[in-house]
Amino acid sequence: MLFRSGSAIKEFAPHVMGETEIDLKNIDYVRQALISVVNNPGGTAYAARMKNLTVAGKTGTSQVRRIGKQRMHISTLPYEHRDHALFACFAPANDPKIVVVVVAEHAGHGSSVAAPVAMSLLSTYLHVTQQHPELVAPIGEREQK
């Protein structure tokens, strides 16, 4: 976590809890599927995609309560009965530098609500890191100004 100035508020070191062997072709298969979600027509996050960054992600919608056979428009439901919108992504897809996860409670669907929020955050990240590339370096490697 960083202050606006780029100085660290708190650094979180990785903690390995365990390891497993996964065939790299399986990892590539999943990565390609996540890229398709965002970048291929018909992907659930395609409408929110960024043209200048390949993002890999997964949309989701968490139903709050059983509605039955007849689906109702979100605007007709009481707030507390509306679905939660979810989207998790990483970018650039083939050399990840950032992960964004959006959970928008009672906001609707992941594709129409959470994915656009994540893309906005990624756009801001791109803008800031282009203006201040030193912020991308690991905290211990940043130049002190």
Express each pLDDT in 55-105 by its tens digit. Answer: 999 999 988 877 666 666 777 777 788 889 999 999 999 999 899 999 999
Q: Which residues pair with 100 in a beta bridge?
A: 89
Interval 3-16 mean pLDDT? 79
Specify whether the backbone of 68 is left (phi greater than 0), alpha (psi in -120 to 50) or beta: left
CB 135 within 8 A of CB 126: no
Q: Determine what percent of the chain is predicted with pLDDT higher than 70.
A: 87
CB 120 within 8 A of CB 85: no
Domain positions in the chain are 28-136
Write down the pLDDT at residue 1.
Answer: 65
User: What's the whole-number average pLDDT of the chain?
Assistant: 86
Task: Specify whether domain 28-136 bears CATH 3.40.710.10.
Answer: yes
Question: Which element (helix H / strand E) includes 101?
Answer: strand 98-104
Using CA atoms, how far apart are residues 4 and 2, in angstroms rounded to an integer? 6
Write down the pLDDT at residue 8.
Answer: 77
Using CA atoms, how far apart are residues 57 and 44, in angstroms rounded to an integer? 10
Q: Return the residue matching tokens 């428009």.
A: 73
Choice among 5-9, 46-50, 58-62 with the minimum mean pLDDT: 5-9
